[in-house]
Amino acid sequence: MYIIKIKGVAKIPDYLQVRDDNFTLICYTRTDRPEKALEKCGLGSKIDEIKELLNNIPFGQVTPVSF
């Protein structure tokens, strides 16, 4: 699984992409409130881990994760 943090510009907020091993998009949500979308895509139990990653990874970098 991969996580990508995307920097927004002007009025567009920052976004988070979660992709599977085939790089298929699983979840696309705002970084300031990802809880609802992560619950919907089945990652509700990993919300705290994902939020911690969001604070530490740079924008635009594909970060591999294993949950």
Residues spanned by the domain of 41 = 2-64
Total of domains in the chain: 1
Q: What's the pTM value of the predicted model, to 2 decimals?
A: 0.84
Q: Express each pLDDT in 10-57 by its tens digit.
A: 888 999 999 999 999 999 999 888 899 999 999 889 899 988 989 999
So what's the pLDDT on residue 59? Answer: 94
State the Cα–Cα distance between residues 10 and 43, nearest whole angstrom.
Answer: 29
So what's the pLDDT on residue 66? Answer: 85
C-alpha closest to that of 26 among 46, 1, 49, 51? 1
So what's the pLDDT on residue 39? Answer: 93
Q: Give yes or no for residue 67 having a pLDDT over 90.
A: no
State the Cα–Cα distance between residues 58 and 45, nearest whole angstrom.
Answer: 23
